[in-house]
Amino acid sequence: MVSQFKPRPLLRSGTYTISDLVERYDTSLRTLRFYEQHGLVRPGRPRPNTRVYTRADVERLDFVFDCRLTGMSVRSIASLLELRHTLPEKEFGKVHAGELRKRLAELLEELEQLGAQKEALERGLGRLEEKLAG
């Protein structure tokens, strides 16, 4: 599976350490552990304090990081991951597209609200500066 949103280095081997993934995603150990705590990825644990990620884990994390780039919540991503393994690919694609449309609509609404806030700030700042100058 290729990232839909961000190019990433090609995978070179069959297993990866948490350090490999920190580099791949330009993220922190804490983020990867957080995703593990929330069930978004389940690496192998051959020894305490050791995580081994498979190619399938990395593909799953590619999906997680792509979703996070859109601002999707961890809860929404977890729901999508559950559906990803239970629905046929085409049906899952429709659900995923629906979630992306929903997120886009949320962002457009936020942009509208931010635009109104920006205008209010500019008006208020203009009035304040006039008052201070006079």
- For the segment(s) 1-86, the CATH number from 1.10.260.40, 3.30.1370.60, 1.20.58.1610, 1.10.1660.10 is 1.10.1660.10
Residue bearing tokens 């590619």: 62
**Residue among 60, 40, 49, 39 at smallest CA distance from 17:** 49
How far from 74 is each of 26, 43, 56, 111, CA to CA, in Å? Answer: 18, 18, 19, 22
Question: How much is the pLDDT for 53?
Answer: 95
- Using a 10 angstrom Cβ sphere, with 0-12 exposed, 13-18 middle and 19 or more buried, the burial of residue 108 is exposed
Task: Kindly report, residue by residue over 29-49, the tens digit of the pLDDT.
Answer: 999 999 999 999 999 998 888
Which pLDDT band holds residue 8 (cuts at 50, 70, 90)? Answer: confident
Task: Kindly report, residue by residue over 108-121, the tens digit of the pLDDT.
Answer: 999 999 999 999 99
